[in-house]
């Protein structure tokens, strides 16, 4: 009886060579691509999948088109569409630009005019920030309803303040957050400085320019310009732009609450968006995007003391990726 052998061929779209090569490999029936960059050890990504290889190296693939991307921390990723050809050796060189964008930091405090601990926290955080450039660091205060629900700042916008508090869900009313991370009753200045330095050293791929103006009517207008530089590995669907208004230099002849404080700065007055902000899911990965918000202001607020603060925040992880304000 004649034996019949059946050979099953399995086609694989992209075949990665098992060996690492810093020089072009010999050409066979598959197409090969030798990839280099201006920096060594950039990750080689094919159709959003990491190949396990780093530049310079050679990959091989069947004859079709693929998106080739190079990625490395502290650099903007670059990509190009390549059409592979069987039996040919192609070369690809991509230039990665260093990411020199500065990531700013935001300290958010939940406070109340009847909270004694809030005075200590506010003083400590302001002292910590004195050691850092005021162009890259900002502190704001959200009024809360504990322990005195009669807090005059809280009573102006209780719904948004409660929603922002519930978003973070702190254990205590005098909690503080640095770029979305709970500092857990910060009272030790040196440890706060260390955390701030870590946050300032992180990369960002966003810059923001913030303007404010008054329209022909009673409206207060905020104009936000966001520049996006290669947001590889960032999901826009989770990002939100939160725009709010703060007031500085609030002075009282007598304390408005039981903690004895009469001077207040960076008090959040209102949200121009709501507490959860505007979704950035449609802004795309590159380019400039403009946002405008307007709102009628309380006539008791001093216009010259108002500032707009804009926050790009991941609403899932709560991490703040960039902050801008009319301070800058």
99 lies in some domain: no
Alpha-carbon torsion (235, 238, 241, 242), positive or negative: negative
- Same domain, yes or no, for 298 and 151? yes
Query: Which of 69, 94, 119 is where one domain is finished?
Result: 94
User: Would you state the pLDDT for residue 103?
Assistant: 95
- Same domain, yes or no, for 265 and 135? yes
**pLDDT: which is higher, 141 or 7:** 141
User: Would you state the pLDDT for residue 255?
Assistant: 97
β pairing state of 278-279 and 287-296: unpaired
* Average model confidence (pLDDT) across the chain: 86
Average pLDDT over residues 271-296: 88
β pairing state of 89-94 and 31-37: parallel
Residue 267's domain is classified under what CATH number? 2.60.40.10
Ordered strands of the 31-37 beta sheet: 14-15, 57-61, 31-37, 89-94
- Same domain, yes or no, for 260 and 301? yes
Average pLDDT over residues 226-232: 87
Query: Which of 75, 94, 113 is where one domain is finished?
Result: 94
The pTM score is 0.83
4 lies in some domain: no
User: Would you state the pLDDT for residue 121?
Assistant: 86
Number of domains in the chain: 2
Average pLDDT over residues 284-298: 86
Average pLDDT over residues 80-106: 92
User: Would you state the pLDDT for residue 173?
Assistant: 58
9 lies in some domain: no
- Same domain, yes or no, for 202 and 158? yes
Query: Which of 37, 62, 94 is where one domain is finished?
Result: 94
- Same domain, yes or no, for 123 and 80? no
- Same domain, yes or no, for 145 and 275? yes
**All residues at 6 or more sequence positions from 18 whose CB lies less than 8 Å from its CB, including other chains:** none
- Same domain, yes or no, for 78 and 142? no
pLDDT in tens, 242-256: 999 999 999 999 999
pLDDT in tens, 109-140: 999 999 998 898 888 888 888 878 777 999 99
Choice among 1-10, 210-219, 256-265 with the minimum mean pLDDT: 1-10
- Same domain, yes or no, for 207 and 261? yes
User: Would you state the pLDDT for residue 24?
Assistant: 57
Q: How many C-beta atoms surround the C-beta of residue 22 within 10 A? A: 12
- Same domain, yes or no, for 160 and 59? no
- Same domain, yes or no, for 200 and 83? no
24 lies in some domain: yes
- Same domain, yes or no, for 47 and 178? no
100 lies in some domain: no
Q: Which domain holds residue 24?
A: 14-94
- Same domain, yes or no, for 78 and 110? no
């Amino acid at each position: 009886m004649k034996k019949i052998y059946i050979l099953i061929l399995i086609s694989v779209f992209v075949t990665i060579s098992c060996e690492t090569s810093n020089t072009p490999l010999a050409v066979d029936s598959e197409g090969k691509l030798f990839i280099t960059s201006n920096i060594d050890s950039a990750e080689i990504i094919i159709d959003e999948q990491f190949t396990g290889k780093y530049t310079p190296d050679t990959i091989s693939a069947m004859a079709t088109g693929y998106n080739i991307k190079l990625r490395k921390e502290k650099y903007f990723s670059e990509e190009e569409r390549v059409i592979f050809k069987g039996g040919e050796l192609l070369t690809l060189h991509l230039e990665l630009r260093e990411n020199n964008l500065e990531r700013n930091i935001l300290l958010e405090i939940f406070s109340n005019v009847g909270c004694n601990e809030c005075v200590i926290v506010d003083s400590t955080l302001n002292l910590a920030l004195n050691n850092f450039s005021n162009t890259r660091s900002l502190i704001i205060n959200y009024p809360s309803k504990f322990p005195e629900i009669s807090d005059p700042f809280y009573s102006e916008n209780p719904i948004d303040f409660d929603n922002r508090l519930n978003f973070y869900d702190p254990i205590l009313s005098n909690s503080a957050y640095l770029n979305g991370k709970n500092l857990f009753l910060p009272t030790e200045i040196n440890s706060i400085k260390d955390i701030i330095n870590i946050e300032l050293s992180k990369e960002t791929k966003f810059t923001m320019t913030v303007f404010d103006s008054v329209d022909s009517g009673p409206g207060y207008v905020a104009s936000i310009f966001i520049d996006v530089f290669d947001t590889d590995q960032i999901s826009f669907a989770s990002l939100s732009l939160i725009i709010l208004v703060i007031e500085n230099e609030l002075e009282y002849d007598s304390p408005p609450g039981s903690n004895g404080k009469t001077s207040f700065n960076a008090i959040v007055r209102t949200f121009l968006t709501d507490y959860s902000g505007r979704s950035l899911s449609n802004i795309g990965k590159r380019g400039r995007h403009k946002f405008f918000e307007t709102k009628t202001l309380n006539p008791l607020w001093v216009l010259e003391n108002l500032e707009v603060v804009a926050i790009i925040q991941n609403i899932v992880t709560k991490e703040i990726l960039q902050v801008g304000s009319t301070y800058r």
